[in-house]
Copies of this chain bind each other. A is one copy, B any other.
Amino acid sequence: MKSIAILGTGGVGQTLASKFLDLGHKIMLGTRNVENKLSETTKDQYGNLPFKEWFATNKGVKLGTLKEAAAFGEIILNATKGSESINALKAVEQKDLEGKILIDIANPLDFSMGMPPRLIPELCNTNSLAEEIQRTFPKTRVVKTLNTMWSGLMINPGLVNKGDHDIFVCGNDPEAKEEVKKILKSFGWSGENILDLGDISAARATEMYLPLWLRISAATNFKPMNLRIVN
Protein backbone atom coordinates (compact mmCIF):
# COMPACT_ATOMS: atom_id res chain seq x y z
CA MET A 1 0.00 0.00 0.00
CA LYS A 2 1.37 3.34 -1.04
CA SER A 3 0.38 6.96 -0.64
CA ILE A 4 -0.35 8.24 -4.09
CA ALA A 5 -1.00 11.83 -5.17
CA ILE A 6 -2.85 12.58 -8.36
CA LEU A 7 -2.51 16.15 -9.58
CA GLY A 8 -5.61 16.97 -11.60
CA THR A 9 -9.24 16.17 -10.82
CA GLY A 10 -10.65 15.57 -14.31
CA GLY A 11 -12.02 12.31 -15.64
CA VAL A 12 -8.56 10.75 -16.00
CA GLY A 13 -7.56 11.63 -12.44
CA GLN A 14 -10.87 10.31 -11.13
CA THR A 15 -10.61 7.01 -13.00
CA LEU A 16 -7.10 6.41 -11.72
CA ALA A 17 -8.02 7.47 -8.16
CA SER A 18 -10.91 4.98 -8.05
CA LYS A 19 -8.66 2.20 -9.27
CA PHE A 20 -5.85 2.95 -6.80
CA LEU A 21 -8.46 3.02 -4.04
CA ASP A 22 -9.78 -0.41 -5.12
CA LEU A 23 -6.20 -1.69 -5.01
CA GLY A 24 -5.87 -0.56 -1.40
CA HIS A 25 -3.69 2.51 -1.80
CA LYS A 26 -4.12 5.84 -0.01
CA ILE A 27 -5.07 8.55 -2.45
CA MET A 28 -5.11 12.32 -2.47
CA LEU A 29 -6.24 14.32 -5.47
CA GLY A 30 -4.66 17.74 -5.80
CA THR A 31 -6.36 20.79 -7.27
CA ARG A 32 -5.57 24.51 -7.41
CA ASN A 33 -8.49 25.53 -5.19
CA VAL A 34 -10.39 22.96 -3.15
CA GLU A 35 -13.44 25.16 -2.45
CA ASN A 36 -13.85 26.07 -6.10
CA LYS A 37 -13.52 22.44 -7.14
CA LEU A 38 -16.24 21.31 -4.70
CA SER A 39 -18.58 24.11 -5.71
CA GLU A 40 -18.60 23.27 -9.44
CA THR A 41 -22.08 22.44 -10.69
CA THR A 42 -21.59 21.91 -14.43
CA LYS A 43 -20.12 19.12 -16.53
CA ASP A 44 -16.58 19.59 -17.85
CA GLN A 45 -15.61 19.82 -21.54
CA TYR A 46 -15.56 16.02 -21.82
CA GLY A 47 -19.06 15.63 -20.34
CA ASN A 48 -17.92 14.41 -16.92
CA LEU A 49 -20.27 15.11 -13.99
CA PRO A 50 -19.39 17.88 -11.52
CA PHE A 51 -16.48 16.79 -9.34
CA LYS A 52 -18.45 16.69 -6.10
CA GLU A 53 -20.77 14.00 -7.46
CA TRP A 54 -17.86 11.66 -8.17
CA PHE A 55 -16.19 12.63 -4.90
CA ALA A 56 -19.31 11.78 -2.87
CA THR A 57 -19.27 8.21 -4.19
CA ASN A 58 -15.54 7.60 -3.75
CA LYS A 59 -15.24 7.64 0.02
CA GLY A 60 -11.66 7.37 1.10
CA VAL A 61 -10.22 9.61 -1.60
CA LYS A 62 -8.76 12.75 -0.07
CA LEU A 63 -8.89 16.11 -1.77
CA GLY A 64 -6.26 18.77 -1.18
CA THR A 65 -4.36 21.57 -2.83
CA LEU A 66 -1.63 20.73 -5.32
CA LYS A 67 0.85 21.49 -2.55
CA GLU A 68 -0.88 19.22 -0.02
CA ALA A 69 -1.18 16.40 -2.50
CA ALA A 70 2.49 16.56 -3.49
CA ALA A 71 3.48 16.47 0.18
CA PHE A 72 1.18 13.47 0.73
CA GLY A 73 2.28 11.27 -2.16
CA GLU A 74 5.22 8.89 -2.21
CA ILE A 75 4.40 8.62 -5.90
CA ILE A 76 2.91 11.52 -7.84
CA LEU A 77 0.81 11.30 -10.98
CA ASN A 78 0.51 14.24 -13.32
CA ALA A 79 -3.04 14.16 -14.66
CA THR A 80 -3.37 17.91 -15.17
CA LYS A 81 -3.98 19.45 -18.59
CA GLY A 82 -0.74 19.38 -20.56
CA SER A 83 -0.92 23.12 -21.07
CA GLU A 84 -0.95 23.65 -17.29
CA SER A 85 1.31 20.86 -16.04
CA ILE A 86 4.54 22.81 -15.62
CA ASN A 87 2.78 25.60 -13.69
CA ALA A 88 0.93 23.08 -11.53
CA LEU A 89 4.21 21.41 -10.60
CA LYS A 90 5.85 24.76 -9.91
CA ALA A 91 3.02 25.49 -7.44
CA VAL A 92 4.13 22.73 -5.06
CA GLU A 93 7.03 22.71 -2.60
CA GLN A 94 9.99 21.61 -4.70
CA LYS A 95 11.31 19.38 -1.91
CA ASP A 96 8.08 17.40 -2.23
CA LEU A 97 9.04 16.44 -5.77
CA GLU A 98 12.68 15.60 -5.18
CA GLY A 99 13.60 11.95 -5.46
CA LYS A 100 10.01 10.92 -6.06
CA ILE A 101 8.59 9.07 -9.03
CA LEU A 102 6.37 11.33 -11.09
CA ILE A 103 4.19 9.43 -13.54
CA ASP A 104 3.35 11.81 -16.36
CA ILE A 105 0.19 10.76 -18.16
CA ALA A 106 -0.71 14.17 -19.60
CA ASN A 107 -0.59 15.19 -23.24
CA PRO A 108 0.37 18.66 -24.47
CA LEU A 109 -2.84 19.26 -26.40
CA ASP A 110 -3.49 22.66 -27.93
CA PHE A 111 -7.20 23.35 -28.53
CA SER A 112 -6.61 26.98 -29.57
CA MET A 113 -6.96 26.15 -33.28
CA GLY A 114 -10.11 24.04 -32.88
CA MET A 115 -10.67 20.32 -33.27
CA PRO A 116 -8.91 18.01 -33.63
CA PRO A 117 -6.36 19.51 -31.24
CA ARG A 118 -2.76 20.12 -32.26
CA LEU A 119 0.16 19.57 -29.91
CA ILE A 120 1.64 22.60 -28.17
CA PRO A 121 4.34 23.59 -30.69
CA GLU A 122 7.13 24.04 -28.13
CA LEU A 123 6.39 20.58 -26.73
CA CYS A 124 6.40 18.72 -30.04
CA ASN A 125 8.91 17.12 -32.40
CA THR A 126 12.11 18.41 -30.76
CA ASN A 127 10.70 18.36 -27.23
CA SER A 128 7.83 16.85 -25.24
CA LEU A 129 5.89 17.57 -22.09
CA ALA A 130 7.63 14.80 -20.18
CA GLU A 131 11.07 16.05 -21.21
CA GLU A 132 10.11 19.58 -20.23
CA ILE A 133 9.00 18.32 -16.80
CA GLN A 134 12.20 16.30 -16.38
CA ARG A 135 14.32 19.30 -17.41
CA THR A 136 12.43 21.68 -15.10
CA PHE A 137 12.52 19.29 -12.12
CA PRO A 138 15.81 17.41 -12.58
CA LYS A 139 15.68 15.71 -9.18
CA THR A 140 12.30 14.13 -9.91
CA ARG A 141 12.19 10.68 -11.50
CA VAL A 142 9.81 11.24 -14.41
CA VAL A 143 8.23 8.22 -16.11
CA LYS A 144 5.92 8.73 -19.07
CA THR A 145 3.17 6.16 -19.57
CA LEU A 146 -0.59 5.66 -19.98
CA ASN A 147 -0.93 8.74 -22.23
CA THR A 148 -1.78 6.77 -25.37
CA MET A 149 -5.29 5.61 -24.54
CA TRP A 150 -8.67 6.36 -22.98
CA SER A 151 -8.57 6.31 -19.18
CA GLY A 152 -11.09 3.47 -18.91
CA LEU A 153 -8.64 1.26 -20.75
CA MET A 154 -5.62 2.38 -18.72
CA ILE A 155 -6.99 0.67 -15.62
CA ASN A 156 -8.89 -2.12 -17.35
CA PRO A 157 -6.95 -3.38 -20.37
CA GLY A 158 -9.21 -6.44 -20.56
CA LEU A 159 -11.95 -4.25 -22.03
CA VAL A 160 -10.57 -4.91 -25.52
CA ASN A 161 -8.92 -7.92 -27.19
CA LYS A 162 -8.72 -9.80 -23.85
CA GLY A 163 -6.10 -7.30 -22.71
CA ASP A 164 -3.69 -8.16 -25.50
CA HIS A 165 -2.60 -4.70 -26.66
CA ASP A 166 0.36 -2.54 -25.82
CA ILE A 167 1.39 0.24 -23.48
CA PHE A 168 4.58 2.29 -23.57
CA VAL A 169 6.90 3.33 -20.77
CA CYS A 170 9.91 5.63 -20.92
CA GLY A 171 12.12 7.52 -18.51
CA ASN A 172 15.70 8.11 -17.48
CA ASP A 173 15.60 6.15 -14.22
CA PRO A 174 15.51 2.35 -14.68
CA GLU A 175 14.34 1.65 -11.11
CA ALA A 176 11.54 4.16 -11.41
CA LYS A 177 10.41 2.47 -14.61
CA GLU A 178 10.37 -0.91 -12.85
CA GLU A 179 8.17 0.54 -10.09
CA VAL A 180 5.81 1.95 -12.67
CA LYS A 181 5.66 -1.36 -14.52
CA LYS A 182 4.54 -2.98 -11.26
CA ILE A 183 1.72 -0.46 -11.02
CA LEU A 184 0.71 -1.18 -14.61
CA LYS A 185 0.66 -4.90 -13.85
CA SER A 186 -1.57 -4.21 -10.83
CA PHE A 187 -3.98 -2.54 -13.30
CA GLY A 188 -4.07 -5.78 -15.31
CA TRP A 189 -1.36 -5.20 -17.89
CA SER A 190 0.71 -8.23 -18.84
CA GLY A 191 4.48 -7.82 -18.85
CA GLU A 192 4.54 -8.80 -22.53
CA ASN A 193 2.33 -5.83 -23.35
CA ILE A 194 4.50 -3.24 -21.58
CA LEU A 195 7.09 -1.90 -24.00
CA ASP A 196 10.00 0.10 -22.60
CA LEU A 197 10.94 2.67 -25.25
CA GLY A 198 14.04 3.96 -23.49
CA ASP A 199 14.88 7.32 -22.00
CA ILE A 200 12.49 10.20 -21.44
CA SER A 201 13.08 11.61 -24.94
CA ALA A 202 10.92 8.75 -26.22
CA ALA A 203 7.98 10.68 -24.74
CA ARG A 204 7.99 12.86 -27.83
CA ALA A 205 7.15 9.72 -29.81
CA THR A 206 4.24 8.68 -27.59
CA GLU A 207 2.90 12.23 -27.35
CA MET A 208 3.15 12.68 -31.13
CA TYR A 209 0.97 9.58 -31.49
CA LEU A 210 -1.97 11.61 -30.17
CA PRO A 211 -3.14 12.94 -33.53
CA LEU A 212 -3.19 9.40 -34.96
CA TRP A 213 -5.07 8.06 -31.95
CA LEU A 214 -7.70 10.79 -32.35
CA ARG A 215 -8.06 10.12 -36.10
CA ILE A 216 -8.31 6.36 -35.61
CA SER A 217 -10.93 6.89 -32.88
CA ALA A 218 -12.99 9.13 -35.14
CA ALA A 219 -12.74 6.58 -37.98
CA THR A 220 -13.84 3.72 -35.70
CA ASN A 221 -16.82 5.41 -34.07
CA PHE A 222 -15.00 6.28 -30.85
CA LYS A 223 -15.02 2.70 -29.60
CA PRO A 224 -12.40 2.08 -26.91
CA MET A 225 -9.27 1.20 -28.88
CA ASN A 226 -5.59 0.62 -28.57
CA LEU A 227 -2.66 -0.66 -30.59
CA ARG A 228 -1.16 -4.09 -30.65
CA ILE A 229 2.33 -4.28 -32.10
CA VAL A 230 2.71 -7.26 -34.41
CA ASN A 231 6.06 -8.49 -35.66
Contacts and interface: CB of A to CB of B under 8 A. Distances in A.
A118 B128 CA distance: 12
Kindly report how many copies of this chain are found in the complex they form together.
Answer: 2
| Interface of A, helix, strand, loop or mixed by DSSP | mixed
Which of A164, A165, A215: most chain B CB closer than 10 A? A215
Question: Which of A164, A223, A228 has the most chain B CB atoms inside 10 A of its CB?
Answer: A228
Contacts of A226: 229-231
Interface stretch (A63-71, A74-82, A206-214): A206-214
Interface size class of A (residues with CB under 8 A): 35 or more
A225 B219 contact: no
Contacts of A212: 205-206, 208-209
A219 B167 CA distance: 13
A34 interface: no
A1 interface: no
